[in-house]
Structure 1
């Protein structure tokens, strides 16, 4: 029927997966900070202080990763409601946003190592969030069953 979404999906499963993705993204951001600062001695471009942990900078970076995952879940929900081929649009939008988060740190005036570490961390987080939410999407649609 015209006007109906192509897929039924389970909203609670989508958002539960989105919240889990936010937690994973926050933990992954902490790993990025620890690897860059703790193992290689290269800061990630966040407010500094506190050694390898980075003080409030690491907390802010982790919080931003979690918020990005929740925002991506919201985007995915909107795309599922109103667009055909929601997965294709979602992946395209997320890859472009990830590219932006990689390019921006490379274009600022800071230590080259910090710029590269930040760009690599952002690339890792963007791909992680996109891939994880794509799996959540598959699960939420399967649980809701396809309709025509």
Structure 2
């Protein structure tokens, strides 16, 4: 007859058919994302970005008299290029919303990555007007409008992402 076992495996030696107890499921550390709120806020951000583009162009062309995006005889609104610019701002905000959604689902510290991405995109938007031949006033005005649009998108989507996420059940995974 074998002597009784001591230690952690005694019960499993006595009952060889009993398996180790299943591991307790680990709670997800990632915050839960409310996609409806995120995309509704992203759509609202896109509308605001388009309106910022429109107001910026009206201010620069109509009030300051700097001719950007279209010939000087096109008036305060400009031409179809102004509409395209506003739709471009709208599209960029929708793309940024998609990026936020992907980052929230996949990345650690998603908003830190989003802010860096947006700051670099804004830098590109501010620098591009200086790479084309135009009057310096037009370049500065376009760069300023691009800066305001980018900051608008970044700040609004930061707020939207904070509202559209909630911490996991164990309290970890805060943004």
* Shorter-chain TM-score above 0.5: yes
Q: 1:79 aligns with which of 96, 103, 110?
A: 103
| Structure 1 residues 10-34: Cα deviation after superposition (integer angstroms, max 9, x where no partner) | 0000000000001001111000100
Q: 1:60 aligns with which of 79, 84, 88?
A: 84
Q: In the TM superposition, what are the counterparts of 1:6-25 in structure 2 within 5 Å?
A: 6-25=30-49
**Gap regions ≥5 residues in structure 1:** none
User: Once structures 1 and 2 are overlaid, which stretch shifts more, 106-115 or 125-134?
Assistant: 106-115
Aligned counterpart, 2:146: 122
Higher normalized helix content (fraction of residues): 1
CA RMSD of aligned residues (A): 1.5
- C-alpha distance in 1 between matches for 2:133 and 2:39: 38
Shift of 1:5: 6.1
Shift of 1:50: 2.9
Q: 1:28 aligns with which of 44, 52, 64?
A: 52
| Structure 1 residues 48-82: Cα deviation after superposition (integer angstroms, max 9, x where no partner) | 46311012011011000000000000000110111
**SS of corresponding position for 1:122:** helix
Query: CA 1:5–1:68 in 2, change beyond 3 Å: closer, same or farther?
Result: farther
Shift of 1:47: 4.1
**SS of corresponding position for 1:133:** helix
- The answer to whether the 8 A contact 1:33-1:43 is kept is no
Aligned counterpart, 1:40: 64
Are residue 146 (structure 1) and residue 146 (structure 2) matched? no
Q: Which runs of 4+ in 1 moved over 2 A?
A: 46-50
Q: Which has the larger radius of gyration?
A: 2
Shift of 1:107: 2.4
**Gap regions ≥5 residues in structure 2:** 1-25
